[in-house]
């Protein structure tokens, strides 16, 4: 029985072998680059049609498409990550998380930004002091309710 981790390993191998980018896989799926990448890494699921397109594009077995369409278990370590790129994201959350929360609640009320009804885009932007990475996130506001 194939697991999400097995499929992720196969996708990484095909990506390397074919010398393609996540954007190419996302285009084949007909979905965003961030969401498709997350699904290929096992943290989201693709609808069966998109999962089939990814499997076909990469030349994966039919079972891989089934696994890509399965709901994930989002169980990740709760320790400080050591990968420098992921750590910096963790650091940004640590440094700016409270400010983010305060500003969301000041502007929209007591609630949260959804990571379920959510969009994210990542791009490289030239800058005179060195290239920048621009992250744009948009999530549905979910107000807390009283009962």
Classify each residue of 104-118 as buried b or exposed e, where b means 16 or more C-beta atoms within 10 Å of its C-beta.
beeeeeeeebeeeee
Q: How far is Cα 72 from Cα 42, in angstroms, rounded to an integer?
A: 6
Catalytic annotation present for 91: yes
> Which member of 91, 98, 102, 123 is catalytic?
91
Catalytic annotation present for 88: yes
Contact 37, 12 (CB under 8 A): no
- Tell me the β-bridge partners of 143: 111
> Which member of 98, 102, 114, 123 is catalytic?
114
> Which member of 49, 88, 123, 132 is catalytic?
88
Active-site annotation, residues: 88, 91, 114
């Amino acid at each position: 029985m194939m697991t999400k981790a097995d499929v992720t390993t196969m996708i990484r191998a095909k990506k390397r072998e074919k010398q393609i980018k996540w954007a190419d896989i996302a285009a084949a799926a007909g979905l965003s680059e961030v969401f498709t990448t997350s699904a290929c890494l096992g943290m989201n699921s693709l609808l069966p049609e998109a999962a089939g397109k990814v499997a076909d594009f990469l030349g994966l077995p039919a079972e891989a498409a089934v696994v890509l369409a399965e709901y994930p278990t989002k169980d990740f370590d709760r320790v400080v990550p050591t990968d420098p790129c992921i750590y910096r994201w963790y650091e940004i959350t640590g440094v700016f998380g409270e400010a983010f929360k305060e500003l969301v609640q000041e502007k929209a009320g007591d609630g949260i930004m959804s990571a379920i009804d959510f969009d994210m885009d990542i791009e490289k932007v030239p800058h005179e002091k060195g290239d920048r990475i621009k992250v744009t996130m948009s999530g549905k506001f979910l107000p807390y309710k009283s009962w």
